[in-house]
Each structure stands twice: as structure tokens, then as C-alpha cells.
């Protein structure tokens, strides 16, 4: 408890009035705590961290944290983050997005940031719903789910954000839930230290909206659902497609070395200076 108080004093903005805007039982707070712990472990100076978010519930995280913080337009956090990383490569750029934010309105930016392999630690808080606007169907909502914008059931199937980003070329991709916090801690550490584009998909509960659609009304029920419906990637490799149906694969999905955009640009500088 003593350590927690220390983190609060060290990283939460004293001038920002609490409480947060999140509903009681929301999964975003668990992620924010994990992220702050990881930043503390990494030992970054507060001036050296830039936190960029898009729009939605999870994108409010930077407001509460004492870094250089930027709360941008819906879907476009990665474009701002790209400019910051190129202009000042020494800064640690962290991007926080929601699921609709990252892969619906921001899908093109997401795959291009991964393709460029620009050194950004990107976190997508996937609660399978547009929470801030009142529980509409999102790109990660499961087929058949009833929401306020799919009152007869979702006609589309869900996006697998991690697989899309992996295919686009990210250097590191991992997925965890806010229930699996030791894994979450490990993935955040990896993403922060990764040279290149690193994405962690964080499955989180939206008790107010998606819980209602799933028939789960308490935060504990939703976290138990996370516990019971996830499979570690190591175990998933030995399972058939039928056995994996409806399951969420968690763990380190990709970890590879690729030159970053900044690396390539440094080479270009060297070339140009010879001309």
C-alpha cells in the first residue's frame, strides 16, 4: 500500500481533480495502474515521456498523468505520435487508444504506423463497445451481439486487432486482459522497451454497456469471463480451430527485429550528407 501511494504522488497530476470519469468497475483503471507501474520500473524521467491518446473513455488516461500529454482527435493519435517521434526521437512516445478509435476510424493510421515500424508503444484498450457514446456496436463486438446500434444482433464479425497489426508489420504484438495482470505487466514492459512499433491489445470490461449485452452485470463476473475465455498462445498452438472458437488468445503474439523509420532516416541523413 505504501508503494501505491508513492506512485500516486509521483505520477498522478495533483492539479487534476479526481475522481476519474470512468464508471465504477471499469477495466481502464487497472490498465492505467499497470502502465504507471511499468513506467516507474523503466525509470523514465517524466519530461521524457509523451502520452498521446485519441478519443473515447480510455483516451482520458493522459489527463490524469503527469507527463507531456496530448489528447487528440478520434482515431488519429498515432499520426500526432508519429510527428513527435520524428521531431524528437529521444522522447518515449506512448499511445493509448480504444478499439473503435484504433481500428475503425483510425484503422488506416494503425496499419501504417505498424508498417513504418515507427518506435511507439501503442496500447489499445479493447472493451468491444463504444462506451462514451452509449454502448454502440464496435469493430470488435462479436457477431450476433445486441447493442444500441445493433438492436437485432451484430451482422458483422469482430476484428482481430492484434493479428491485423502483426500482418501490417509491427515489431511486437501482445494481448492480455485486465484480469491477467502479471502477463499485462510483462507485455507493457516489452512494449516500452521495444525498438519499433509495439502494440499491446488490452481486453477490458465495460460494465455499463458490454456487460449488459453479455448478460454479465458485475465487474467480477466480467473478469471471470476473461479468466475463463482466454488461452495462452503457447497452449493455443496445439489446439484446433474448433477448440479455439470463441476463445481469446493471449500472450506475446509477435516479437521480431525490423529497422524503424527513425533508423532508416538516420541512414538517409548519412547518405545525403555525402552528396
Partner 1 sequence: METLLLEGNEACVRGALAAGCRFYAGYPITPSTEIMEMMARELPKVGGMFIQMEDESASLGAVMGASLAGLKAMPATSGPGFSVMQEHIGFASMAEVPCVIAHVMRGGPSTGLPTQPSQADVMQAAWGTHGDHPIIVLAASSAYETYELTIKAFNLAERYRTPVILLSDAVVAHTREAVTLVQADMEIEERPQPTVSPEEFLAYGDPGNGVPPMPPFGEGYRYHVTGLCHDVRGFPTTRSDEVDFLLRRLLSKISRDSDRLQWFDCWHENSETMVIAYGCVARAALRAVREARDKGLDVGLMKLKVLWPFMSTTVSNVLENCRRVLVPEMNFGQVSREVERVNQGRCEIFTLNKVDGTAITPPEIVRKLEEMHP
- How many residues of this chain interact with partner 1, rule: CB under 8 A? 39
Q: How far is the CB of 120 from partner 1 (least distance, A)?
A: 11
Is residue 80 near partner 1 by the rule CB under 8 A?
A: yes
Mask 89-108, x = binds partner 1 (CB under 8 A)?
-xx----------------x
DSSP letter for each residue of the chain: -HHHHHHHHHHB-TTSPSSPSSPTT-SHHHHHHHHHHHHHHHT--GGGEEEEE-SSSGGGHHHHBSSEEEE-STT-HHHHHHHHHHH-TTSEEEEEEEHHIIIIITHHHHHHHHHHT-S-EEEEEE-SEETTTTSEE-TTSPTT--BTTBTT---SPPP-HHHHHHHHT-SEEEEEESS-HHHHHHHHHHHHH-SS-EEEEEE---TTTHHHHHT--SHHHHHHHHHHTEEEHHHHTTS-HHHHTT-EEEEEEEE-----HHHHHHHHHHHHHH-
Q: By C-beta, is 108 or 218 nearer to partner 1?
A: 108
Mask 234-273, x = binds partner 1 (CB under 8 A)?
---------------------------x---x--xx--x-
Q: By C-beta, is 107 or 142 nearer to partner 1?
A: 107
Mask 103-132, x = binds partner 1 (CB under 8 A)?
-----xx--x--------------------
Is residue 81 near partner 1 by the rule CB under 8 A?
A: yes
Q: By C-beta, is 2 or 274 nearer to partner 1?
A: 274
User: Which residues within the stretch 27-46 sit at the binding site for partner 1 (CB under 8 A)?
Assistant: 46
Q: How far is the CB of 47 from partner 1 (least distance, A)?
A: 5
User: How far is CA 9 from each of CA 12, 38, 39, 66, 151, rounded to the nearest angstrom?
Assistant: 6, 16, 14, 10, 44
Q: Which stretch binds partner 1 (CB under 8 A): 80-88, 128-136, 190-198, 212-220?
A: 80-88
Burial of 57 (0-12, 13-18, 19+ CB in 10 A): buried
Q: By C-beta, is 6 or 16 nearer to partner 1?
A: 16
Is residue 15 near partner 1 by the rule CB under 8 A?
A: yes
Is residue 157 near partner 1 by the rule CB under 8 A?
A: no
Q: By C-beta, is 86 or 190 nearer to partner 1?
A: 86
Q: Which residues bind partner 1 (CB under 8 A)?
A: 15-16, 46-48, 50, 52, 62-63, 66-73, 76, 79-88, 90-91, 108-109, 112, 261, 265, 268-269, 272, 275
Amino acid at each position: 500500500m505504501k508503494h501505491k501511494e508513492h506512485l500516486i504522488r509521483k505520477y498522478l497530476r495533483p492539479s487534476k481533480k479526481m475522481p476519474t470519469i470512468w464508471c465504477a468497475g471499469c477495466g481502464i483503471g487497472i490498465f492505467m495502474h499497470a502502465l504507471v507501474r511499468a513506467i516507474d520500473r523503466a525509470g523514465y524521467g517524466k519530461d521524457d515521456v509523451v502520452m498521446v491518446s485519441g478519443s473515447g473513455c480510455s483516451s482520458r488516461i493522459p489527463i490524469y498523468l503527469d507527463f507531456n500529454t496530448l489528447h487528440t482527435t478520434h482515431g488519429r493519435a498515432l499520426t500526432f505520435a508519429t510527428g513527435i517521434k520524428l521531431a524528437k526521437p529521444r522522447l518515449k512516445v506512448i499511445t493509448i487508444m480504444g478499439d473503435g478509435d484504433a481500428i475503425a476510424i483510425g484503422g488506416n493510421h494503425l496499419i501504417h504506423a505498424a508498417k513504418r515500424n515507427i518506435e511507439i508503444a501503442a496500447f489499445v484498450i479493447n472493451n468491444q463497445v463504444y462506451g462514451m457514446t452509449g454502448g454502440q456496436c464496435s469493430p470488435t463486438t462479436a457477431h450476433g451481439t445486441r447493442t444500441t446500434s445493433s438492436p437485432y444482433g451484430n451482422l458483422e464479425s469482430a476484428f482481430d486487432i492484434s493479428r491485423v497489426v502483426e500482418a501490417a508489420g509491427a515489431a511486437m504484438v501482445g494481448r492480455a486482459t485486465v484480469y491477467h495482470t502479471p502477463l499485462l505487466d510483462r507485455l507493457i514492459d516489452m512494449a516500452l522497451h521495444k525498438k519499433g512499433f509495439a502494440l499491446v491489445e488490452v481486453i477490458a470490461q465495460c460494465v455499463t454497456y458490454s456487460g449488459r449485452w453479455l448478460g454479465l452485470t458485475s465487474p467480477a463476473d466480467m473478469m471471470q469471463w476473461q479468466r475463463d475465455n482466454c488461452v495462452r498462445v503457447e497452449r493455443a498452438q496445439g489446439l484446433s480451430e474448433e477448440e479455439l472458437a470463441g476463445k481469446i488468445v493471449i500472450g506475446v503474439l509477435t516479437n521480431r527485429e525490423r529497422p524503424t523509420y527513425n533508423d532508416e532516416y538516420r541512414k538517409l541523413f548519412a547518405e545525403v550528407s555525402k552528396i
